[in-house]
A and B are shown apart, each in its own frame.
Chain A
Amino acid sequence: MIAESFSVEKGDYLRAGEASTKMKNMLKKLGIGGSVLRRISVAAYEVEMNLVIHSFGGTLSINVDGDYIWLISEDIGPGIPNIENAMREGYSTADEVAQGMGFGAGMGIPNMKRNADIFNIESELNKGTKISMGFLLGGGNGE
């Protein structure tokens, strides 16, 4: 098993996308490609941007373990008040800065769910949010 984690700061648009790029490079070195890589790329970037835009900061980690690649995002708040809303396409609470940069179309979480083979989200208000996504190596949810 191999695991790497990256800390992602709130509002750090300078480094935004760096963690997903590093994770992608790691997967390419491991020889993981095709549909799995394509889906992880999209999901990793979405979840990283989610941390930058919505959270107070957190960590993004990846581990390649047997049949699955796990992408896990854990933040330290503020938590999602209504997960059902957040899961709906088009729903967004992104601020003006993020919207000005082309984010906040309300596709983030639905997009992650669509790309992952296993998707789980837990959130507690004022505590934090944990998103876990599993991607089946060698196949799985084709496009």
Chain B
Amino acid sequence: MVNKRFHSVTLDASKCKGCTNCLTRCPMEAIRVRGGRAFIMDERCVDCGECIRTCSYHAKVAMTDDLGIIENFEHRIALPAPSLYGQFYHAKSIAVIIEVLKHIGFTDVFEVAKGADIATRMLQEELKNPDRPKPLISSACPAITRMIQIKFPTLLPNIVKVKQPMEVAATMARAEYSKKHSVPKDEIGVFFITPCAAKVTAVRNPIGQEKSEVDGVISMLDIYACVFPILNKITPDENIKIATPYGVGWANSGGESRATNINKTMAVDGIENVANVLEEIENGRLRDLDYLEGAACPGGCVGGPLTYENKYVARNKVMQLVSELPCERPEETVPCRVLNSYDFKMDTPIPENCSMQLDEEVSTAIEKMERINDILESLPGYDCGSCGSPTCRSFAEDIVRGYCNITDCIFILRDRLKVMAQQMVDMSNTKRE
């Protein structure tokens, strides 16, 4: 359990009680409780944020940048994720939400929904390519991509090679601002307003590209706190050009699929549900499917762990705001010039993450598996988590990996104590010959 990768999801050890809430509900089995507190296994965590939702003591937190980080730049562009629009139940329009961001310190705003419009066009092109495997799998949710790296490596070739809308938007925002105001690109700060921890990690530790275009990531909750009190006092510029309803629709599960404008798509939300469908694809089912949109959060990005509003309320709000937009498609608003003049395709491969493997050598891994199976037979099979591992199987594995001892199982310990107690009784009853 070495710390080598950056993760947004971290533990506040002072609040952790060492209970089993996060332990048993982590979809990656990436948490262990040792010495009365939780530990996150860096190599397995995908930053889905499930533990942030389940921790009763709020000991699981997402590291994001403080709003103060924008002060480092004179020119600061906010990149609001489309899910931000769902957070303000009383907001009259998207224009108001865009305008209010200019009142809390940003010099300009570029909608990530516009990045989603561009990503939609790129995606449509990739879907037309007969050489790509089917179904193509969305690359928009970094938690899902990381899960595929660990649990479904055979599906890595199916991941769409288009950068995330956040990155597309950051590239566009910087380029346009630089041109319009004649400012060098490196003097412009670009800040993503995030609904989740996975995007924070995706900026620090990018997927499919060497370096992120984003300079900082601010939690949607922090923005909500600044914006909510002043939202009603804002008069928006109603002439600004908003993204298409399809780009904004990416906030909700199903939005991406609808945007592609093809029939054979499937949208799945909730990381366990996505894992189940990936399992089906791996089994060779769903062969006629062209596109799978998977979001780790329930409801899609509106259900992110760093959002304020109830996800169903937020989803409805997004739908309402979308219905008020002019009925345009990304094909009409995104010029081919844009697609040709920037690089929105991933340029580095997405490698397999071997952290589930028992050993680098198959033969050694087989030996370890045999030991695991032997140990497993002696365990009670309650999957109670009292030992600090999420299931009996993972406990057996942890023993073989050298992380813990068999007597960490309280049932095994109890049985051994019984035997010992009996032996003590026997000894004390022994009479002098």
Q: Mark A25-47, 1 if CB is under 8 A from B, else 0.
A: 01011111110011001101110
Residues of A within 8 A of B397 (CB): 29
- Complex Cα distance, B356 from A33, in Å, reads 12
Taking a contact as CB atoms under 8 Å apart, the answer to whether B153 and A33 are in contact is: yes
Question: Does B2 reach chain A (CB closer than 8 Å)?
Answer: no
Question: Does A130 reach chain B (CB closer than 8 Å)?
Answer: no
Residues of A within 8 A of B366 (CB): 1-2, 30, 64
Chain B residue with the shortest CB-CB distance to A102:
B285
Question: Does B429 reach chain A (CB closer than 8 Å)?
Answer: no
Query: How far apart are A59's CB and chain B's nearest CB, in angstroms?
Result: 17
Taking a contact as CB atoms under 8 Å apart, the answer to whether A30 and B284 are in contact is: no
- Complex Cα distance, B147 from A69, in Å, reads 26
Residues facing A in B275-291 (CB within 8 A) are 279, 282-285
- Given A30-B362, A31-B354, A31-B358, are A24 and B282 also a contact pair (CB < 8 Å)? yes
Option from A32, A37, A44 in Cβ contact (under 8 Å) with B362: A32
Question: Does B340 reach chain A (CB closer than 8 Å)?
Answer: no
Query: How far apart are A21's CB and chain B's nearest CB, in angstroms?
Result: 6
Option from A4, A34, A41, A46 in Cβ contact (under 8 Å) with B282: A41
- Complex Cα distance, B356 from A32, in Å, reads 11
Taking a contact as CB atoms under 8 Å apart, the answer to whether A33 and B369 are in contact is: no
Taking a contact as CB atoms under 8 Å apart, the answer to whether B282 and A30 are in contact is: no
Residues of A within 8 A of B356 (CB): 28-29
- Given A1-B366, A31-B359, are A17 and B154 also a contact pair (CB < 8 Å)? no
Residues facing B in A81-122 (CB within 8 A) are 102, 111
Residues facing A in B46-88 (CB within 8 A) are none
Question: Does B239 reach chain A (CB closer than 8 Å)?
Answer: no
Taking a contact as CB atoms under 8 Å apart, the answer to whether A31 and B282 are in contact is: no
Residues of B within 8 A of A2 (CB): 366, 369-370, 373
Query: How far apart are B29's CB and chain A's nearest CB, in angstroms?
Result: 11
- Complex Cα distance, B406 from A125, in Å, reads 49
Residues facing A in B344-392 (CB within 8 A) are 352, 354, 356-362, 365-366, 369-370, 373
Residues facing B in A36-73 (CB within 8 A) are 37-38, 41-42, 44-46, 64
- Complex Cα distance, B237 from A31, in Å, reads 57
- Complex Cα distance, B111 from A68, in Å, reads 53
Residues of B within 8 A of A45 (CB): 283-285
- Given A31-B359, A32-B362, A33-B153, are A26 and B282 also a contact pair (CB < 8 Å)? no
Most buried by B among A29, A37, A111: A29
Question: Does B204 reach chain A (CB closer than 8 Å)?
Answer: no
- Complex Cα distance, B397 from A29, in Å, reads 10
Question: Does B151 reach chain A (CB closer than 8 Å)?
Answer: yes
Chain B residue with the shortest CB-CB distance to A33:
B153
Most buried by A among B154, B285, B360, B370: B154
Residues of A within 8 A of B373 (CB): 2, 4
- Complex Cα distance, B93 from A108, in Å, reads 54
- Complex Cα distance, B352 from A31, in Å, reads 11
- Complex Cα distance, B365 from A42, in Å, reads 23
Query: How far apart are B286's CB and chain A's nearest CB, in angstroms?
Result: 10
Residues of B within 8 A of A28 (CB): 151, 153, 356-357
Residues of B within 8 A of A102 (CB): 285
- Given A2-B370, A34-B154, are A41 and B284 also a contact pair (CB < 8 Å)? yes
- Given A28-B151, A38-B154, are A17 and B369 also a contact pair (CB < 8 Å)? no
Query: How far apart are B428's CB and chain A's nearest CB, in angstroms?
Result: 46
Taking a contact as CB atoms under 8 Å apart, the answer to whether B362 and A137 are in contact is: yes
Chain B residue with the shortest CB-CB distance to A34:
B154
- Complex Cα distance, B44 from A29, in Å, reads 13
Taking a contact as CB atoms under 8 Å apart, the answer to whether B365 and A31 are in contact is: yes
Chain B residue with the shortest CB-CB distance to A65:
B366
Taking a contact as CB atoms under 8 Å apart, the answer to whether B282 and A29 are in contact is: no
Query: How far apart are A66's CB and chain B's nearest CB, in angstroms?
Result: 9
Taking a contact as CB atoms under 8 Å apart, the answer to whether B283 and A30 are in contact is: no
Chain A residue with the shortest CB-CB distance to B284:
A42
Query: How far apart are A8's CB and chain B's nearest CB, in angstroms?
Result: 15
- Given A1-B366, A29-B369, are A41 and B283 also a contact pair (CB < 8 Å)? yes
Residues of A within 8 A of B369 (CB): 2, 26, 29-30
Option from A29, A33, A64 in Cβ contact (under 8 Å) with B154: A33
Supply 12 A–B pairs (Cβ within 8 Å), ascending by A.
A2-B370, A4-B373, A17-B279, A24-B279, A26-B369, A28-B153, A31-B357, A31-B358, A33-B153, A38-B282, A42-B284, A46-B284
Q: Given known contacts A31-B365, A41-B284, what 19 new A-B pairs fall within 8 Å (CB)?
A: A1-B366, A4-B373, A17-B283, A28-B153, A29-B357, A29-B365, A29-B369, A31-B359, A31-B360, A31-B362, A33-B153, A33-B352, A34-B154, A38-B154, A38-B282, A41-B154, A42-B283, A45-B284, A64-B362
Which B residues form the contact surface with A (CB < 8 A)? 151, 153-154, 279, 282-285, 352, 354, 356-362, 365-366, 369-370, 373, 397
Which A residues form the contact surface with B (CB < 8 A)? 1-2, 4, 17, 20-21, 24, 26, 28-34, 37-38, 41-42, 44-46, 64, 102, 111, 137
List 3 tightest A-B contacts by C-beta distance, closest first.
A42-B284, A45-B283, A31-B357
